[in-house]
Amino acid sequence: MKRFKKILLVHDSGESGQSTLSRAIDLARRNQASLTVIQVIGQIPRDYRMLVTSVTSEEIMKLASKEHTLLLEKEVAHFPETSRIMCKVVVGREFIEIVKEVLRNKHDLVIKTARGMGGTLGMLFGSTAMHLLRKCPCPVWLIKPYQDQGFHRIMAAVDVEPTRAETRELNHEILELATSLAKMEHSDLHIVHTWKKPDLGYLTAELDYIDHDDISILYNEAKNLHIKWLNEFLERYNDQQYQVHIEEGSAGSTISEFAKQQQVDLIVMGTICRTGIPGFFIGNTAEKILNRIDCSVLAVKPENFISPVKLNEK
């Protein structure tokens, strides 16, 4: 069972933030993990701007940090696990300070409430969330606001084509997380792999004698090959309970549509990319999925991922 040791929660004020805090504390308790609750102040808070003429901006931010820390500790004090929780308020750009905290203290999970609108109104994930998905070296769990009824249906999205060696270990990390969470939440687990029909246009153009039966055979062979790959990948998970789905179509649209139809509460997926700029971009497929879903997501990066954010960055 996958266990976390050092969890970092990005604090959000309000009712939805309290719900995420409660879930993070419960996860830390179940994993016997440490929990740090962090809040980032990006600029001089409005309530302190009247002091600008009498004290320096640095002094104002120190005062604001101290008071925000006290407020944060007061919110955490409602929970019996207070002694295992550390509260921290830092100054800077939110996503940079979060990633630096991960790098500095080797956190193995970041939890954050999604701030976007979601649904048909717009993306569920705001700019900070997308920066974390692109640049945070550890898994990032973005929880849909007011997701306090548990995760009844969890989806693990995997790509098991053997030609993509860089995704092999990432797929296993996805399954380890998904199966562990499904056990913890008593959830239905759906493992989804998408495949695209081979482009046979050149055959029908060059070989005018090929008929529909031949094309159907080629399509079935392609699908059966993906089924074989997925079955081989799942051999080490035979003791787990899950449902397997082989879905035809582009992963970017098919996975989001499946999540909607099946009323999935949480998607566990990878954000692998193939770019020469380390850490700056998530894969095009992952980006398309994230732009379309309206549920919580736990995003995992490859083990060799290097964040572009550095500890000495300002």
CATH number of the domain that residue 188 is part of: 3.40.50.620
> Which one is predicted more confidently, 78 or 140?
140
Q: Which of 8-22, 249-263, 286-300 has the lowest mean pLDDT?
A: 8-22
Residues 112 and 176 in one domain: no
Residues 188 and 300 in one domain: yes
Strand-pair partners of 157: 192
pLDDT of res. 197: 79
Reported as a pLDDT band with limits 50, 70 and 90, residue 119 is very low
Instruction: Determine the average pLDDT of the residues in 97-105.
Output: 96
Residue 124 has pLDDT above 90, yes or no: no
Identify the sign of the CA torsion 24, 29, 35, 39. Answer: positive
Residues 251 and 139 in one domain: no
Which range of residues forms the domain containing residue 6? 1-148
Residues 235 and 302 in one domain: yes
Instruction: Determine the average pLDDT of the residues in 169-197.
Output: 92
pTM of the model: 0.86
* pLDDT tens-digit readout, 128-172: 898 999 899 999 999 988 766 789 999 999 988 876 666 788 899
Cα 157 to its chain centre, rounded Å, is 12
Reported as a pLDDT band with limits 50, 70 and 90, residue 121 is very low
| Count of structural domains within the chain | 2
- Cβ atoms of residues 115 and 144 within 8 Å: no
The structure tokens listed for 212 are 């529909």
Residues 121 and 220 in one domain: no
Residues 204 and 90 in one domain: no
Find which of 22-31, 45-54, 76-85 is predicted with most confidence, using mean pLDDT.
22-31
- Final residue of a domain: which of 85, 118, 148? 148
Instruction: Determine the average pLDDT of the residues in 206-228.
Output: 76
Residue 225 has pLDDT above 80, yes or no: yes
Residues 157 and 296 in one domain: yes
Residues 277 and 248 in one domain: yes
Residue 206 has pLDDT above 70, yes or no: no
- Final residue of a domain: which of 115, 148, 181? 148
Residue 116 has pLDDT above 70, yes or no: no
Q: Which helix (H) or strand (E) holds 111?
A: strand 109-113
Instruction: Determine the average pLDDT of the residues in 171-175.
Output: 93
First to last CA, the chain: 38
- Final residue of a domain: which of 113, 148, 183? 148
Question: Average model confidence (pLDDT) for the chain?
Answer: 83
Q: Which of 57-61, 171-175, 285-289 has the lowest mean pLDDT?
A: 57-61
- Cβ atoms of residues 293 and 124 within 8 Å: yes
Residues 202 and 140 in one domain: no
pLDDT of res. 83: 66
Residues 102 and 188 in one domain: no
Q: 210 φ, ψ to 5°? A: -70, 135
Identify the sign of the CA torsion 275, 170, 127, 110. Answer: negative
Residue 75 has pLDDT above 60, yes or no: yes
Residue 205 has pLDDT above 60, yes or no: no
pLDDT of res. 101: 96
Residue 217 has pLDDT above 90, yes or no: no
Instruction: Determine the average pLDDT of the residues in 178-203.
Output: 85
Residues 170 and 283 in one domain: yes
- Cβ atoms of residues 171 and 236 within 8 Å: no
Residue 81 has pLDDT above 70, yes or no: no
Residues 91 and 202 in one domain: no
Residue 276 has pLDDT above 60, yes or no: no
